Chains A and B, each alone.
Chain A
C-alpha cells in the first residue's frame, strides 16, 4: 500500500555541516496495517512522514502510495501534497480557529479538485466523520471551544472525512495529558481496526508504539535500526539502542566464553559473574558481548545461588502501588529491578538476583574505539 525505498534527505545544520535527516530509509506498509516510526527526537521519523505527505522534498528515493508513484528522484516525479489524497493529523492538531467544527471537517471536501460535493453530501460525510470520532452534535460549535481531547478527535475527523487510502499521524497524542492519552490510544486502535485504513504513525513514546502498532520501525540518526512486531521489538531487541529506547534495561558488559549452543545460549563472563544468555546471532568465543535484561524480568529473592544468580544489596526503592522499583547494587554495577509488591525488601538488605537465561539477551559488543563503537555511543 505504502512503499518507501532508499529515501534520503540532508539538511544543512546551523554550523554549516550536512546532517542526514533520512539516511536510506526503506519501508512498506501493507493494506490496512499500522506501522509506527519510533525514535528519539531528531531521528528522522517526522521528516520521513512529511516526505510521504509531500510537505518535505526528499533528496532521493522512491515513494509509492496505493500503487501510485508520488515521488521518484530518478523519474523526476513529485506529486504535490494537495494531490496525494491522504489524511493527516498534526502534532498541534492544526484546528482552524476561525471555522466551526463542521467547517473544519468539511474543508477537504470543499477544496476537492477531483469532484464537486453537493451540500447534502458534504453534510452527510462530515456528520459521519464526526460520529466516528464521537463528536456527533458538535458541528455548530466554534472549534476553539473544544477541549484538547476533542480537538484531537476533530483533527482526526478532518483527516478521515475524504476516506483517504492512507492516514498519517504525527505524534497525535503527545499534547494530551496522561489519562486522556491512554483513552485516545484505545480510540485510535478501534478506529483503525474498524476502518481498516493503512496508517503511518510517528511517535517517540514507546508505550504508544507498542500499544497501537502492527509493526514498529525503530529509527535512529536517519536509519531504520530494527523492524518487527511490538512483541519482537520489546523482547528481542537487536541492539542496545533499541533495548534502551523501548523500556528501561540493564546492560552488563562481558566476553563470550565458549561457542553458542544449538539453543542459541552461551555463557558470558562479566565482572559480576557468569551469565548464560540467548544470542540471536552467531558469535565466536572470546568476542566482546553485552547482556541485556529488562528490570521486570529479574527475579529478586532473599537468598539463593546457582546459575545466573548474583548477590546484591538494595540501594534504593520506590513503592509505586502495583509494583516496587529497586536499585540494587551488584558489585560495581547498579541493576534496576521492577518487582511485584509482595517481594518487599528494605534498603540495605542483601538479596539474590536471578536472571532467567531465556530473558537475558546477548548482543555482540563493538570493540572500544572502533567506528561502530563510536556510532553506538553517539546513538545512545
Chain B
C-alpha cells in the first residue's frame, strides 16, 4: 500500500483540497503518534546538548560556554570515575554472559531435564526489580549485617567476613545476578537457530569435539556473543541502582551516580551533569552502534535453512542430572536467595538472619506499617497508574510508528525505526536529568506531576515497544492487509478486523513487558519524582538509605514481586500461544 492509494484526488485538484482528502482521521492520528514519538526522543537529547553548552545560572541556562566540559573532565577523580564505569560494565557483561549463555545452552541445545522450568525461572529473575535484588544481596553479603557472611563465618570458623558486597566485585556480582536472564534471552535464539547439521558436517569431516566447538560452533556464535556482550556492557554502564546502593557506601563512584550527584548538589550543577551525561551517552551510543553492526552482520550467519529444520538436542547421557543440578543451583543462588531474604526480612523489623529461633519474633508488623503509611499508598497508586499509562502509550505509539514505517514509508521508514530505537542508547539517568531540564523551560504544566514521569517512561521504553511492534508487524504478510483493502475494507476496518487481532499477542506481550519495567523504574524517577509523585522505586531507595526500616523495604519488595511474578506467568502463556500459532 503506497502512500496515496486509499485516497481519491477528488474533483478539485488544488493542493489543499487534495491534502484534506488524503489526510483522513486515521492518517491524522497516525501522524500524531509519529510526531509524539519523535518529540519524545528529541527533546531530552536536544536539552542535554543545550544545557551542556550553557553556563549554569540561578535562573536556568545562561550564555553559551564550553566550561562545563572543561570543569567536568578536568576534575580530579575523573579518570577513576570513568575507569570504575568501564570495569564495572565490562565485568558485568562477561560474568553475565557466562551465566546466561551457559543456561541458554543447556535449555536450547541439550536434553537436560527441567528445561521448561529453567526458562520460566529466567523470565522471573528478569521481572524482579534490580533494586530489590541489590538490597537482598546487601542483606546477604554485607560484611557487618549480611546473614550469608555470618553463616559462612560460623561454618568455617572465620574471624572476618569472607565476602564484601560493598566492593567492585560485589557490585558486578549483584548486577550480574539481576541481568543474567537478559544474556539468557539474547543467547537463547542464537543457540536455537544454530543448525546442528553444520556441526554434524564437521564431525563427518573428521573433526573431534574440541575442533567442532572451536572451529564451527564458536565462529558461528561469534556475532551473537559479541552483540550480547555489547548490549550488556551498555546496560552495565548505564546502571544506577547497584552503584547507588553498593558503590556509594564504598566510595566507588561511577558516571551515573556522579551525574545524579551533580544535579542533587546545592546549588545544582546542571551544566556539569549534562557534560558528564554527553560523555556517558557517547559511550553508550558507541556500544549500541557496535551492537547493531554486530547484529547486522549476524544475518550473514543466518543458519536456519527453511523447511524441515528440526534442531536435535545434544545428548548429555550421564551428565544430564549433574548439568541440571548446576543450573538449578545457579537459579537457587541468583533468584532463590534474594527472594527468600526479602521475604524473610519482611517479617522482622530489625535485621534478622534466617534461623528457627528468630521465627518467634516474626510478625506482619511491616506490612501493617506499609498499609497505613500514606507515602507508600501514594507511591503504589502512582506506580500502578504510571505502569498502566506507560504500557498503553508505548504500545500504541510504537505500533503506530512501526506501521507507518513499514507500510506507508517504504523508503524512509528506517528513519522512524532509528528514532524510536535511539533511547536504547540513552541511559535512564540521562533521560531523567534531561527531561528535568527540558520541562523547566518548556511551558508545559507537567513539572512535579506524574505526567513528567510518564513522559520519561514512554521515552525510555519506546525502543522495547518498537521492537515488539516492528517484529510482530514484519511477521504479518502485507498481502493480509491488502486483500482486506481490495475486499472493500476501509483502513479502520482493516486495522480492527485484520491487523489488531493478528497482532494481539505481540501487543499484549509488549504491554506487559513495559508495565513490568515501568513499575520498578528508579534511575529516571529519582530526578523527576517529588512530594506526592513518589513511586515505589524512589520510596524504596529513601527508606533503605534512611536505614532502620529494612524490614519495611523488604515488605514493600514482596508486595511488588508478587504481581510481577503473576505477569511473567501470563507472558509465558502468550509466548506459548504465539509459538503454537506459527
Which residues from chain A sit less than 8 Å from chain B, CB to CB?
12, 53-57, 76-88, 90-92, 94, 96-98, 107-108, 110-113, 144, 155, 158, 162, 168
Contact = CB atoms under 8 A, between A and B. Distances in A.
5 closest residue pairs by CB, A with B: A94-B479, A108-B487, A76-B9, A80-B6, A111-B489
A90 B493 CA distance: 20
Given A54-B5, A78-B9, A81-B5, A94 B480 contact: yes
A139 B422 CA distance: 47
B497 interface: yes
A88 B2 CA distance: 18
B9 A82 contact: no
A169 to B, nearest CB: 12
24 contacts: A55-B5, A55-B485, A57-B2, A76-B9, A76-B11, A77-B8, A78-B7, A78-B9, A80-B7, A80-B485, A82-B487, A87-B486, A88-B483, A88-B486, A92-B479, A94-B480, A96-B502, A97-B502, A98-B501, A108-B488, A111-B488, A113-B490, A144-B581, A162-B488
B482 interface: yes
Contacts of A76: 9-11, 13
B477 interface: yes
Nearest to A50: B482
Contacts of A110: 497
Given A92-B479, A96-B480, A53 B486 contact: yes
B498 interface: yes
Contacts of B490: 82, 111, 113
Nearest to B8: A78
A94 B8 contact: no
B484 interface: yes
Nearest to B489: A111
B4 interface: yes
A90 B488 contact: no
Interface of B: 1-11, 13, 411, 477, 479-480, 482-490, 493, 497-498, 501-502, 581
Q: What DSSP secondary structure best describes chain A's contact surface?
A: loop
A57 B6 CA distance: 10
Contact of B5 (A56, A77, A112): A56
B485 A81 contact: yes
Contacts of A87: 486
Contacts of B489: 82, 107, 111
Q: What is the predominant secondary structure among interface residues of chain B facing chain A? A: loop
Contacts of A84: 486
B296 to A, nearest CB: 16
A91 B482 CA distance: 12
Given A94-B483, A97-B502, A82 B488 contact: yes
A92 B6 CA distance: 22
B488 A83 contact: yes
B486 A81 contact: yes
A54 B6 CA distance: 8
A77 B7 CA distance: 10
Given A90-B483, A108-B487, A12 B5 contact: no
Given A56-B5, A57-B2, A80-B6, A94 B487 contact: no
A92 B493 contact: no
Contacts of B484: 96, 107, 111
B307 to A, nearest CB: 12
Nearest to B2: A57
A286 to B, nearest CB: 51
A111 B487 CA distance: 8
Contacts of B493: 111
Contacts of B485: 54-55, 80-82
B488 to A, nearest CB: 5
Nearest to B498: A96
A106 to B, nearest CB: 10
Contacts of A111: 484, 487-490, 493, 497
Given A92-B477, A92-B479, A97-B581, A82 B486 contact: yes
A111 B484 CA distance: 9
Contacts of A113: 488, 490
A46 to B, nearest CB: 11
Contacts of A158: 483, 487
A79 B7 CA distance: 7
Contacts of A54: 5-6, 485-486
Given A91-B479, A97-B581, A80 B486 contact: no
Given A54-B5, A110-B497, A113-B490, 8 more contacts: A55-B1, A55-B485, A76-B11, A80-B6, A86-B486, A90-B482, A94-B482, A97-B502
Nearest to A56: B2
Nearest to B486: A88
Contacts of A91: 479
A79 B10 CA distance: 9
B506 to A, nearest CB: 13
A90 B502 CA distance: 18
A107 B5 contact: no
A12 B483 CA distance: 26
Given A92-B479, A111-B490, A113-B488, A98 B502 contact: yes
B412 to A, nearest CB: 12
A99 to B, nearest CB: 8
A94 B480 CA distance: 5
A76 B497 CA distance: 31
A94 B502 contact: no
Nearest to A86: B486
A96 B489 CA distance: 14
A79 B484 CA distance: 16
Nearest to B490: A82
A57 B497 contact: no
A57 B581 CA distance: 34
Contacts of B1: 55, 81
Contact of A55 (B9, B13, B480, B486): B486
A80 B480 contact: no
Contacts of B2: 55-57
A108 B497 CA distance: 12
A83 B489 CA distance: 9
A311 B458 CA distance: 80
A78 B22 CA distance: 11
A107 B8 contact: no
B23 to A, nearest CB: 14
**Most chain B Cβ neighbours within 10 Å, of A56, A92, A94, A113:** A94
A81 B494 CA distance: 12
